[in-house]
């Protein structure tokens, strides 16, 4: 493996010590920082950007995370933020509505049986505001991590470039929570096992009017799937396309894309004319992968840095946050004592790997048996829900299975009492 130990090529302005250095201010990173700070564990959170406001990030807060927020005493304050609530996953097809997952089935086991939708920037700002109440929390923006500080095979922190120059953060525990394109994963020389989802997604905006539905929904048309997310003053539209076909879609021209929108969503046909330039369209290359091992001595990867999730079901944020809770539950006592046994890093992976791999299998099934089939449909062969999902909807004892898997996960994590 390439040696990633820091060099002396750049002058280091300062070197600070903390108990935990977290790289990446996404959902997993901010939640872990809050959980440690509230236990009086010094933590520094490094975020590469100038703020949290980025486009086309996940917006879903599932019942599992609502439960975690409730355990932290934050759920009701969180729900005061402007948001919408999805109580059922509904697909609209040429044969009528397909009800895939009704979260009302969770009413007996979850206090908040719905998915809350709001811009991710609002969630991240909310959690970091809470973390800022604790003096042992520090957030650093514009912190571009350049290398690991590694001595005798043990990671002792990172070196990063800020606006004013180069800095070091040294810590017994360094956590990579920097997402699907993880710099920390690359620096650590960790190679993920990759899957091949059969789709990509084009994202763009269309204006939203007062008479529009307030619900988030998906529309299955002839060889087209459009997902609409309510962003209050506009619709964020996801156009699902077969894997690797963006160049073909672009070659067909914006007029063809506008026609697809108009055909699939007649009520938005006029607003499709708002698409005037390909700069308005962003491409999400859908990926799924997992690391065989999430840790090295002194280093742990969580969230998408450890397991890239498909957007199917919108579960990525929720599994990342559950990773953070499991990390805090298992490692906080070690950090308070100033010791970090390697077996406890392995325990985090053991606690979270089975639920993660299981939901990735569920996502693969839905991608291959729902989305891939829907993209292959035509007027003569309209989309039909696969038999296993039709069976789930017919029997009361089974109908709550998919909502539970999507809403709570196979093995939900709860916050340890302080």
pLDDT tens for each residue of 292-333: 999 999 999 999 999 999 888 788 999 999 999 999 999 999
What's the confidence (pLDDT) of residue 406?
83
Q: What fold is seen in the domain 12-194+288-407?
A: FAD/NAD(P)-binding domain (3.50.50)
CATH code linked to domain 199-284: 3.30.9.10
Q: What residues does each domain of the chain span?
A: 12-194+288-407, 199-284
Q: C-alpha distances in angstroms, 351 versus 73, 84, 418? A: 24, 31, 20
Query: How confident is the model at residue 276, as a pLDDT?
Result: 96
Model pLDDT, residue 389: 59
Q: Exposed, middle or buried by CB within 10 Å (0-12, 13-18, 19+), for 135?
A: exposed
Condensed to tens digits (0 to 9), the pLDDT of residues 1-24 reads: 344 444 445 688 899 999 999 999
Q: What is the pLDDT of residues 133-182, one digit of tens each?
A: 999 999 999 999 999 999 999 999 999 999 999 999 999 999 999 999 99
CA angle, corner 215, sides to 211 and 220, nearest 5? 105
The Cα 409–Cα 179 span in angstroms is 20
Give the pLDDT score at 33. 98
Q: How many CB atoms lie within 10 A of CB 176?
A: 32
Tokens of 160: 């990063």
CA triple 262-264-268, angle to 5 deg: 45
Same fold, 12-194+288-407 and 199-284: no
User: Helices 120-131 and 27-37 meet at what angle, rounded to 10?
Assistant: 20
How many angstroms separate the first and last alpha carbons of the chain? 40
pLDDT for 362: 85
pLDDT at 242: 85
CA distance 202 to 247: 11
Q: What does the block give as tokens for 124?
A: 């991240």
Question: 173-176 and 20-23: which strand pairing?
Answer: parallel
Q: What is the pLDDT of residue 231?
A: 83
- pTM given for the model: 0.90
The confidence score (pLDDT) of residue 225 equals 84
pLDDT in tens, the chain (418 residues): 344 444 445 688 899 999 999 999 999 999 999 999 999 999 999 999 999 987 655 689 999 999 999 999 999 999 999 998 988 877 776 666 667 778 888 988 899 999 999 989 999 999 999 999 999 999 999 999 999 999 999 999 999 999 999 999 999 999 999 999 999 999 999 999 998 777 889 999 999 998 888 777 788 877 688 988 888 889 989 998 888 899 999 999 999 999 999 998 899 999 999 999 999 999 988 888 999 999 999 999 999 999 999 888 788 999 999 999 999 999 999 999 988 999 999 999 999 999 999 999 888 887 776 666 566 655 555 556 665 655 555 655 556 777 888 889 889 999 997 6
CA distances from 394 to 92, 305, 391, 398, 404 (A): 19, 38, 5, 8, 16
What is the per-residue pLDDT for 6?
43
């Amino acid at each position: 493996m390439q040696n990633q130990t820091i060099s002396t090529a750049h002058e280091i302005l300062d070197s600070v010590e903390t108990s935990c250095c977290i790289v990446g201010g996404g959902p997993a990173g901010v939640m872990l920082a809050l959980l440690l700070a509230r236990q009086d564990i010094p933590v520094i959170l490094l975020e590469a950007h100038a703020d949290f406001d980025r486009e086309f990030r996940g917006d879903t807060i599932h019942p599992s995370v609502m439960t975690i927020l409730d355990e932290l005493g934050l759920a009701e304050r969180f729900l005061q933020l402007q948001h919408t609530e999805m109580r059922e996953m509904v697909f609209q097809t040429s044969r009528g509505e397909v009800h895939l997952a009704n979260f009302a089935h969770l009413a007996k086991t979850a206090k908040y049986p719905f998915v809350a939708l709001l811009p991710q920037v609002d969630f991240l700002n909310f959690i970091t505001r809470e973390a800022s109440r604790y003096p042992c929390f520090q957030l650093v923006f514009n912190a571009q991590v350049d290398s690991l500080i590694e001595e005798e095979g043990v990671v002792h922190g990172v070196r990063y470039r800020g606006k004013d120059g180069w800095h070091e953060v040294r810590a017994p525990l360094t956590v990579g929570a920097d997402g699907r394109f993880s710099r920390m994963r690359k620096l650590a020389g960790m190679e993920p096992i990759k899957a091949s989802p059969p789709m990509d997604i084009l994202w763009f905006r269309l204006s939203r009017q007062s008479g529009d539905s307030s619900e988030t929904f998906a529309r299955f048309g002839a060889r087209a799937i459009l997902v609409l997310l309510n962003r209050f003053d506009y619709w964020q539209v996801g156009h699902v396309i077969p894997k690797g076909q963006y160049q073909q879609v672009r070659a067909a021209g914006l007029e063809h894309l506008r026609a697809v929108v108009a055909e699939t969503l007649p009520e938005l046909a006029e607003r499709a004319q708002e698409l005037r330039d390909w700069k308005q369209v962003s491409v999400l290359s859908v990926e799924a992968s997992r690391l065989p091992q999430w840790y090295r001595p002194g280093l742990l990867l969580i969230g998408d840095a450890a397991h890239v999730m498909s957007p199917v079901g919108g579960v990525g944020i929720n599994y990342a946050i559950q990773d953070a809770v499991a990390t805090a539950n298992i490692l906080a006592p070690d950090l308070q004592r100033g010791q970090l046994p390697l077996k406890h890093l392995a325990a985090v992976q053991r606690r979270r790997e089975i639920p993660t791999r299981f939901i990735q299998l569920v996502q693969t099934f839905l991608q291959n048996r729902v989305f891939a089939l829907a993209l292959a449909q035509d007027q003569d062969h309209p989309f039909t829900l696969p038999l296993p999902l039709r069976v789930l909807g017919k029997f009361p004892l089974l109908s709550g299975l998919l909502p539970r898997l999507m809403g709570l996960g196979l093995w939900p994590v709860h916050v340890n009492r302080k």
